Amino acid sequence: MGRLLAGLLAGTAGDVCIVARGRGAAELAAAGRVRLLVPGEPPLEAPVRVAASPAEGAAGGGPILFVVAVKGRDTEAVAAELASLAAGTAVPGGDEGFGPPVPGGGERREPAVPGGAADIVVLTVQNGLGHEETLARAVGGERVLAGALTAAVSLEDDGSVRVHSRRAGLALASLMSSPGARPAGAAPASAPSAGDGGPGSWPPRAGGGAAEEALAQLARRLARPWFRTAVTGDWAAMKWSKLLLNILGNATAALLDEPPAAALARPGVFAVERAAFLEALAVMRRRGLRPLPLPGYPVPLLAAALRLPLPLARRLVAPRLAGGRGGKEPSFLLDLRRGRATEAPFLLGAVAEEGRRAGVPTPVCAALAEALERAAGDADFRASLRGDAAALRRLVAGRRAGR
């Protein structure tokens, strides 16, 4: 996700730097560019710099937009670096082994902004709940933007980013915006030139409405015919709406170790998916939030369809769910196959925790989150569920019964 946004911004926003540590750093530095492969479009190549931490990339000074696209388990570490940068204090260098690269940044080798704090705005496009709050505690809510990225992408062997569908986009909101019903407004579909960002400098300076100014400029600069942008006035509803998309067709496929189409064809699996979705929707509603449409995805219509009786909901939703990622396998399945922990704690686990606080039962979300955490470190447990829908249903039924 970080490379995708870096490639889009590099053509319209001037200097773009990617923080990369570990295996990806040398490859990116050698290439000196990001390459995007989009259906129906010629390959898009854009120059980028590579750095090892936010402070190195900020060494030139001036206002800076940081895009945080790391895995959820790395948010606290990134927030600490950004807090030090914003405060003008030194950050020790080193290979922290963060997740995917993030536009904007580098390792601290000398003061990022001579004699003072860095002028930054932070956009998080991470999946799940809690990242905005973590970053707001670190740098201040007035500096933070929330993003919901609706794009199925994968990394090719040569480092190119493959976008699997032209139904891609980004919804944006400021943490300082008031919750409410201000409708999302689509940005123009044409790509502006590097100097066509609207009023003000780019990136906008922190404070004094900088986050709000950045929203409009980002929407204009990122928009393409195949990449839609929208701005909404309710960041929490936007993030929960993206969560509803993230959890569908994800956990069951990972635990059964097969693509969503195969998993959903098994008896009872769609019912598990629907139950988890409806639990998340119930928690969302208890919080006073309503699903919002996201670029390319009519989430309110999806929620309405899944609230229909099970047979009708399955007929309407299951075929679309099976192919909704443009052929890309879901993230939980990819993580387990690579021997990595999933982001279930920030998605299904976060729903279960929010449900506990709100007094809304979420046994299916809790069961799936716990199973995914266990499967990441227990090969025998994972093998016991592989291809066995009955075992998965028993696991969920046991949690529902309090066992």
Boundary residue ending a domain (177, 210, 233): 233
State pLDDT tens for residues 212-255. Answer: 677 888 898 899 999 999 999 899 999 999 999 999 999 999 99
Contact 365, 281 (CB under 8 A): no
Residues 6+ apart with CB under 8 A from 175: 132, 136, 141, 142, 144, 145, 146, 211, 235
Together in a domain, 264 and 221? no
Q: What is the pLDDT of residue 54?
A: 86
Tell me the CATH number at 53: 3.40.50.720
What letter represents residue 166's amino acid? R
State pLDDT tens for residues 269-290. Answer: 999 999 999 999 999 999 999 9
Mean pLDDT, rounded, for 191-215: 50
Together in a domain, 18 and 48? yes
Together in a domain, 97 and 244? no
Together in a domain, 306 and 328? yes
Q: Which residues pair with 19 in a beta bridge?
A: 51, 102
Contact 10, 48 (CB under 8 A): yes
Together in a domain, 225 and 292? no
Tell me the CATH number at 304: 1.10.1040.10
Mean pLDDT, rounded, for 46-58: 85
Residue 342 in this model has a pLDDT that exceeds 80: yes
Together in a domain, 75 and 167? yes
Q: What is the pLDDT of residue 118?
A: 65
Together in a domain, 45 and 183? yes
Highest-scoring range by mean pLDDT, 83-92, 101-110, 300-309? 300-309
Together in a domain, 261 and 351? yes
Together in a domain, 136 and 87? yes
More confident residue, 241 or 94: 241
At residue 305 the predicted structure's pLDDT band, cuts being 50, 70 and 90, is very high
* Tokens describing residue 163: 């976008």
Contact 106, 17 (CB under 8 A): yes
Q: Is the peptide bond before 203 cis (omega within 30 degrees of 0)?
A: yes
Together in a domain, 199 and 282? no
**φ and ψ at residue 18, rounded to 5 degrees:** -110, 130
Structural domain containing residue 320: 239-400
Taking the C-alpha atoms of residue 373 and residue 376, their distance in angstroms, rounded to an integer, is 5
Taking the C-alpha atoms of residue 72 and residue 6, their distance in angstroms, rounded to an integer, is 19
Boundary residue ending a domain (215, 233, 251): 233
State pLDDT tens for residues 15-35. Answer: 888 887 777 788 888 888 889
Average pLDDT, the chain: 83
Contact 295, 270 (CB under 8 A): no
Together in a domain, 187 and 261? no
Torsion 385-360-141-143 (CA) sign? positive
Boundary residue ending a domain (199, 233, 267): 233
**Domains of the chain: total:** 2
Together in a domain, 56 and 70? yes
More confident residue, 281 or 328: 281
Region of poorest pLDDT, from 154-168, 290-304, 318-332: 318-332
What letter represents residue 41's amino acid? E
Region of poorest pLDDT, from 45-49, 92-96, 388-392, 393-397: 92-96
Q: What is the pLDDT of residue 120?
A: 84
